[in-house]
Structure 1
Amino acid sequence: MTREFEIFKDKVFALGKERGVDVQIIYSAEREFQVRYQNGQQDQYTDAGKFRVQVQVLKNGKLGTSYTETLEDPEKVFTDALENISIVDTEDVEYFYDGRGTYPDIAPYDGAFENLSVKQRLGFVEEAERVIRKDERIIGDWAVYGDRKREWRIANTLGLDVSFVSGGGFMYAVAIAKDVSPRSGLEFTLGKKPEDIDPVFVGEGAREWAIKLIGSKSVKSGKYRVILLNDVFSDILGMLVSMISAENVHKNMSPLKGKIGEKIASEKLTIKDLPYHPLSINNVPFDTQGVPTREKSIIENGVFKTFLHNLKTAKKDGVEPTGNAYGTAIVPINLVVEPGDKPFGELVKQLGDGIVIISVEGLHSGANPISGNFSLSAKGLRVENGEITHGVEQITISGNFLELLRNVEEVGADVRATIGVASIITPSVLVSELDVAGALKE
């Protein structure tokens, strides 16, 4: 942290003391590198950094906020935040955290990716493309490599002063195979160190997924046993993120309201929120209000255990905050589905006759976390007698999210992590019944 920031902080805190208000400062800095190659040509390149300082002033339970991307005028930023209290149009009472409690011991990101040269970074995508092109059935591709570093510091006049650095790298690639209609396959990876990023794995995976879909055809509409591939189940689990927010419960926007202690899912399902997971690059010891993160069981053997809280919702419900504030939202840190002991191949054999869903589209428009209903375009692999027989296209899967959780028959061992606002870490799951609308006639 620079000396300039310390001077800025001290000045803002002094102004708060003069005016008899509490003040909080949130410093966030981000550096991002990303490059994309398409069909052997670099077409996107980003190498940039930025920082922002947010000043919050708390007076009589009302919060005024202002932002700056310089450290040159602390008086103006403080005054703007103080004046913005007058335009707050809510009866909600806001709070600052005082820094008490135990913070989990999570090692910060060590900056390993920053030690790579640009040439080394470009080498990841070049190698992935080379691997993809090893099969003559591949007619197109693109590959992306990126790494990022995020630094946070939160300090306030109640005594809170915490900081952390997170970061890591990621890579994904798409291969396009020749067919009546082009078939695309995607593979990805992420990690906290450069050696976690394997371009051969990414390239081979994208290529093989595309080739498996050559000759894809639809199926007849009906109810099918399905396997939701790990990253597909991760996408659909995004609906749970909204449902477990205590703020959405207060707004009557969660179907889980009033269901703590009830069985809402299969006994096979245990889902936790963890401040740290070895596969995640989102690990943090505190949330954006400075509250310590901690392990929580969201669903335990099918039983719903808790909502996630920030300071405001916890105070309303008379519970302890859970360390899940993310700006104005409430989200998990690492939403983790505890794995079973069956590898993917055994899940396919157990499926017997059904469909492996390998990708879905339309989550923003086709999934409603308030009702739990979803209808998503999908691609898959047909399974007959425990063997994959052909690709599946032109299908839509639909149902209710909570019913889907109740229909989970088996949880696999093939754990993967995805990144987003919340990191979701899950294996594939076998679902006993799901509505599939296909294009084939009876």
Structure 2
Amino acid sequence: MFNVNEFILKKADELGFGDVVALSYENRRRQVRFANNEITVAKFWHEKMVELFVEMDRRIAGTTITEVSRENIENTLKTLKANLENMAPKEDYYGIANGPFKYSDIPETFDKSIVELAEPNEYVETAINTALEEGAKRVAGVLYTDHNRIYLSTSTGVEAFDEGTGIEISVRAFIGDLESGHGTNSVRALKKFDPELAGRKAGEIAKLAQNPEQGPEGKFDVIFDPLAFANLLSYMSFMTSAYAAEAGFSFLVNKLGQKVANEIVTIKDVGNMPNGYGTRKFDDEGVPTKETTIIENGTFKTFLLNTSLGKKYGTETTANAGLMMPHAWNIVLEPGDYTKEELFSEIKRGIYITNVWYTRFQNYVAGDFSTIPRDGIFLVENGELRPIRNIRVSDNLQRILEGIKGLGKESYHIHWWEVDTPVSTPYVLVEDVGITRATK
């Protein structure tokens, strides 16, 4: 794939392009789906592609090349050039990072055992059996293994390679039509994979959720399970990009240096986190990834930046460059000092939400959103759980952050199709959360 990159850079130079980034991928992914306590589908994908960024006289564009023949590459570059010639310059474009850079190996991001794993079905069976033992009647979900190689070449002297693996499982356990639970586990090293944990949690929640009643409306103290709060933080991660702020999709606009959360809240992006599902050695410009504090003790410290945006705002890149815009790698909400039991003891009458989906923003700049709790939902009264259903969270993201009044001691790394940007978060207690009735 480096040969492909070299050919791209050579032809781009001949055509008169300035900055060029060729980011080639070779991905191997295996999927095992299961339903009604049995494996139903097994698939394998092996794909090669190139993500391409080009600049000419401050006009910029990007595309993805899935057919990596020389003829197609040349045609793609000629098409990009023709398109750029009809575009207006981006006057606030200030270039990409100048290489080369030195990179350090990041622990627990590549595991040969995952590459050589011949049969992942035993992990699926473990998850299914554990959920059934906890009281589930039906179990469904999906397991993935990944082996990825990344080849980066730029016109500014970067040539970098990274190789990673991953294995993750998403388990849903069911008892009846209204009782379900969800558990996940996502790791980069096989020795840390725990499908039993995912199955047990799914089964436990489903069992507790039997015979739910219509939930109440109003303002309630809410304990968000890590699976649920990771969803909100994953959406928030996009809003921490300077690109999102400039495009009008962030409640953090004009709030640098201001309090946007309770002082117990510190949120980081950690691109070089061991065992992090989004971890990479370098960003899309080749800058070595690192840890960036976004919110510190409640105060908003920085947007996520690439080289161009860093220069625009008189600072440096945060090593979060994507092909066209900065983005987070692994969002981390620093844990607190509560045990799970202590968090629940703080509530006299509140709600425990184990999972959410269909998170939608009515106003990105204001931060107004709604999301629908799914799987087990519980009314908490003096430490007792009573299953409820058919409610919606309708609130404001900054108010949620400001309303955090308790964080668990233990952190959980969450990644599944509703949490695209990986998030590490503890259990979170938020006061006065807006709860309305969900409409069918």
| Whole-angstrom CA distance in 2 between matches of 1:149 and 1:52 | 14
Aligned twin of 1:124 = 123
Aligned twin of 2:318 = 322
1:34 aligns with 2:31: yes
RMSD, aligned CA: 2.4
Aligned twin of 1:264 = 260
Instruction: Give yes or no for contact 1:166–1:282 (8 Å, CA) kept in 2.
Output: no
Aligned twin of 2:146 = 148
| Whole-angstrom CA distance in 2 between matches of 1:153 and 1:403 | 41
What code does the residue aligned with 2:298 have?
G
Partner of 2:166, secondary structure, is: strand
- Aligned match of 1:371 in 366, 374, 380? 366
Q: CA deviation at 1:154?
A: 1.3
Out of 341-350 and 27-36, give the one that drifted further: 341-350
Gaps of 5+ in 1: none
What code does the residue aligned with 1:40 have?
N
1:201 aligns with 2:202: no
Q: CA deviation at 1:338?
A: 0.7
Q: CA deviation at 1:203?
A: 2.0
Q: CA deviation at 1:112?
A: 2.3
Q: CA deviation at 1:37?
A: 1.4
Task: Write the mapping of 1:224-235 to structure 2, written as runs, cut at 5 A.
Answer: 224-235=220-231
Task: Write the mapping of 1:418-429 to structure 2, written as runs, cut at 5 A.
Answer: 418-419=414-415, 420-429=419-428
Aligned twin of 1:91 = 90
- Aligned match of 1:62 in 54, 59, 74? 59
User: Percent identity over the alignment?
Assistant: 26
Out of 82-91 and 181-190, give the one that drifted further: 82-91
| Whole-angstrom CA distance in 2 between matches of 1:133 and 1:214 | 15
1:36-83 Cα shifts (integer Å, max 9, x gaps): 111133332221110112444432222355625234435445444434
1:211 aligns with 2:207: yes
Q: CA deviation at 1:328?
A: 2.8
What code does the residue aligned with 1:285 have?
K
Out of 99-108 and 204-213, give the one that drifted further: 99-108
What code does the residue aligned with 2:193 have?
I
Over 3 Å counting, the alpha-carbon distance change for 1:48 and 1:286 in structure 2 is same
1:113 aligns with 2:114: yes
Instruction: Give yes or no for contact 1:24–1:156 (8 Å, CA) kept in 2.
Output: yes
| Whole-angstrom CA distance in 2 between matches of 1:376 and 1:63 | 36
Out of 47-56 and 62-71, give the one that drifted further: 62-71
| Whole-angstrom CA distance in 2 between matches of 1:77 and 1:96 | 21
Out of 375-384 and 168-177, give the one that drifted further: 375-384
Instruction: Give yes or no for contact 1:367–1:376 (8 Å, CA) kept in 2.
Output: no
| Whole-angstrom CA distance in 2 between matches of 1:318 and 1:101 | 22
What code does the residue aligned with 2:153 have?
A
Q: CA deviation at 1:415?
A: 1.0
1:266-323 Cα shifts (integer Å, max 9, x gaps): 0110111112334422211211222332211111111110011123322322221212
What code does the residue aligned with 2:172 have?
V
Over 3 Å counting, the alpha-carbon distance change for 1:395 and 1:46 in structure 2 is same
Partner of 2:110, secondary structure, is: coil
| Whole-angstrom CA distance in 1 between matches of 2:49 and 2:146 | 16
What code does the residue aligned with 1:96 have?
I
Instruction: Give yes or no for contact 1:177–1:210 (8 Å, CA) kept in 2.
Output: yes
| Whole-angstrom CA distance in 2 between matches of 1:402 and 1:75 | 47
Aligned twin of 2:161 = 163
Gaps of 5+ in 2: none
- Aligned match of 2:291 in 295, 301, 326? 295
Partner of 2:286, secondary structure, is: coil
Over 3 Å counting, the alpha-carbon distance change for 1:330 and 1:421 in structure 2 is farther
Length, aligned pairs only: 428
Instruction: Give yes or no for contact 2:94–2:311 (8 Å, CA) kept in 1.
Output: no
What code does the residue aligned with 2:394 have?
S
Partner of 1:202, secondary structure, is: helix
Aligned twin of 2:42 = 45
1:145-204 Cα shifts (integer Å, max 9, x gaps): 1111222111123211112112210012111113xx431111111112223222322222
What code does the residue aligned with 1:166 have?
G
Partner of 1:309, secondary structure, is: coil
Task: Write the mapping of 1:240-389 to structure 2, written as runs, cut at 5 A.
Answer: 240-363=236-359, 365=360, 368-378=363-373, 380-385=377-382, 387-389=383-385
Over 3 Å counting, the alpha-carbon distance change for 1:286 and 1:88 in structure 2 is farther
Partner of 2:395, secondary structure, is: strand
Instruction: Give yes or no for contact 1:151–1:165 (8 Å, CA) kept in 2.
Output: yes
What's the TM-score once normalised by structure 2's chain length? 0.89
1:363-394 Cα shifts (integer Å, max 9, x gaps): 1x356433211222225222222x13311212
Over 3 Å counting, the alpha-carbon distance change for 1:183 and 1:90 in structure 2 is farther
| Whole-angstrom CA distance in 1 between matches of 2:141 and 2:52 | 39
| Whole-angstrom CA distance in 2 between matches of 1:256 and 1:65 | 27
Partner of 2:129, secondary structure, is: helix
Instruction: Give yes or no for contact 2:165–2:189 (8 Å, CA) kept in 1.
Output: no
Instruction: Give yes or no for contact 2:277–2:330 (8 Å, CA) kept in 1.
Output: no
